[in-house]
Chain A
Amino acid sequence: MPEVAHAADRRDAAWWIDRAVQILVLAGGLSAIVFIAGIFVFITREGAGFVFDRFDFREFFGSPRWTPTSSHNPTYGALALIAGTASVTGLAMLVSVPFSLGAAIYIGEFATGRVRETLKVLVELLAAIPSVVWGFIGLSIMNPLIIQVFDVPVGLNVLNAGVILGLMAAPIMTTIAEDALKAVPDTYREAAEAMGATRWQVTFKVVLPAARNGLVAATLLGVGRGFGETMAVLMASGHSINLPTSPFDSVRALTATIAAELGETAAGSDHYGALFTLGIFLFLVTFAINFAADVFVRGGQRKHRRRGRRPAASANP
């Protein structure tokens, strides 16, 4: 059977195309790593001068005094900025997680037909609103509303920025969470419903656990969004350096500080380096969040997975 042996070794066009595509997607994957590494190298290089010469760990993380433009005694305490970002992001998550999970469960599990389709389109439309518009809403609608309702002197504060940020993050979280729910096979729902489980029991006992990884990913994406958001926070938070003690205190976020001040510093100055150090800090925190999410998701998979997924290895002996 000489033909058989021939076919066994003949690397036809399909084989070569397969090979080329494998190399192409490998290049795509590697380029992602290169870009991330490049960004990290860039911000580290710009911040390095400050980190090595001027950086004081206790001042940076322990002092709320951020006065980089003071002519005789500039100080670089980032504590208030970190607290500002953390408080706004935290409040935003309190707002957006219940909203978005609720919306996703309604759209994915309870709504049917036209209601469902309409809601999906509307949520996706909400996700497309630019952040500066949200900032504008914070400034011109939320601000007087908060002053009126809570009888406080200033409406640009943690509450305002947190709510704005929460509303802003909710649509994208809803979309991702809904995708995660949709990925749960209908056979699971049918099997559970056939046992007499109610719609909510099916959702709570079967669908949500099955979609857990996707839901965690949606939440963390929201955290990342809140953490990195600049414009809306800059406009709605009041942008004043404060360790917040109540939701009605104005605060200043890390990102807003970089955005507001970087344009006015001399490249290479201590101030410039300090802003890049804030950038390094943001980068490391984001990295830590993603890493934690990855570990969490993998841990969950190992518990459920049986035979293992296809490895990315090539099919070449």
Chain B
Amino acid sequence: MSVPVQASEAADYAIEVEDLAIRYHGKPALSSVTLQVPSHEIFGIIGPANSGKTSFLRAINRMDLMTAGMEVSGSVRVEGRDVRSWRNPYALRQRIGVVFPLPVGLPLSIYDNVALSSRLRGTRKKADLDVIVERCLRRAALWDEVKDRLDSLGSLLSGGQQQRLTIARALSQDPSILLLDEFSIAVDPVTTMRIEEVLAELKSEMTIVLVTNLVQQARRLASRTAFFLTGELVEVTETETMFEGGAQDPRTTAYVEGKFG
């Protein structure tokens, strides 16, 4: 515990991004992004395809380490510390749950999918795992549908169920930050609403970054929203202000009103 913490003055920022730029094989995907995400906030990111939203998430949990040709410059600080200074990047990723756009049910049983993270971290007791699995599946609104077949393969569930399984798995990491990348693409509207309710509850436990194609989803959930456009951060504004015509940039207003994108 004697390791010095280089905590910033306002230590309750979960994520601080300064002058972030991302390139793939030298081609810029995102440039000069500076923003802060306070702890226990749902932070929305909207923008049309190819605007750099996903790249932004990838920089936060250091996916550049396993992506050939991806270069990150500037700084991304998670809980006060630059992610590139974590000597153990796996520890960083354990603290950050990620849900990708297309569901990834690992080819394990439903139970093992959700128990995986705890097992990786050394939890062996069946009773403990049972509790974790049930709690996470309940939170992801999947428990009632799968409680009788926890042994069947997670990759055989329907798309929407797999996505909820993915969310349950991310929650099982007990993350302090949850990154959601267009999670509702493969999920029906009713389930989407149920997951949105869960996210609103989770806010008290973790910081959530919600990348979404549905601007109304950002409006329902996010307290502040960033608008990305062609690799550039146009603005970060209080969500309500943004949706009531108070955006600083006319392009943002046009986008949220559905005039392009």
Task: Tell whether, in the assembled complex, residue B84 and residue A317 are in contact, meaning their CB atoms are under 8 Å apart.
Answer: yes
Within the complex, the shortest CB–CB distance from B92 to chain A, in Å, comes to: 7
**Other than the known A7-B95, A12-B88, A317-B84, what 10 A-B pairs have Cβ atoms closer than 8 Å?**
A1-B11, A4-B81, A5-B81, A8-B92, A9-B87, A12-B91, A307-B24, A308-B68, A311-B66, A317-B87
Contact, CB under 8 Å: A310 / B87: no
> Which of B6, B66, B92 neighbours the largest number of chain A CB atoms within 10 Å of its CB?
B66
Contact between A1 and B66, CB atoms less than 8 A apart: no
The yes or no answer to B120 lying at the interface (CB within 8 A) is: yes
- Return the CB mask of A288-317 against B: 1 if under 8 Å, else 0: 000000000000000000011111010111
For B7, the chain A residues whose CB sits under 8 A away are: 1
Number of residues on chain B facing chain A (CB within 8 A): 28
User: Whole-angstrom distance between the alpha carbons of A10 and B91 in the complex?
Assistant: 8
Chain A residues whose C-beta falls within 8 Å of the C-beta of B4 in the assembled complex: 5
**Does the CB pair A308–B69 fall under 8 Å?**
yes
Measured CB to CB, the nearest residue on chain A to B63 is: A310
Given the known inter-chain contacts A8-B86, A10-B91, A14-B90, please indicate yes or no for A315 contacting B66, CB distance below 8 A: yes
A-B contact pairs, 29 of them (CB 8 A): A1-B5, A1-B80, A4-B5, A4-B79, A4-B80, A4-B81, A5-B3, A5-B6, A7-B95, A8-B86, A8-B87, A8-B88, A8-B91, A9-B86, A10-B88, A10-B91, A14-B90, A14-B120, A15-B90, A307-B68, A308-B24, A308-B68, A309-B68, A310-B67, A313-B65, A315-B65, A316-B87, A317-B86, A317-B87
Q: Which A positions have Cβ atoms within 8 angstroms of B?
A: 1-12, 14-15, 18, 307-311, 313, 315-317
Chain B residues, CB < 8 A from A7: 88, 91, 95
Contact of B89 with A by CB under 8 A: yes
Residues of A within 8 A of B3 (CB): 2, 5-6, 8-9
Residues of B within 8 A of A (CB): 1, 3-7, 11, 24-25, 65-69, 79-81, 84-92, 95, 120
Q: Find out whether the CB atom of A310 lies under 8 angstroms from the CB atom of B66.
A: yes
- The residue on B at minimum CB distance from A4 is B79
Note all chain A residues with C-beta closer than 8 A to B90.
14-15, 18, 315
A5-B5 in contact given A307-B24, A308-B68, A308-B69 (Cβ < 8 Å): yes
* Chain B contacts for A10, CB-based, 8 A: 88, 91
Knowing A1-B5, A2-B1, say if A8 contacts B81 (CB, 8 Å).
Answer: yes
Min CB gap A307→B, angstroms? 7
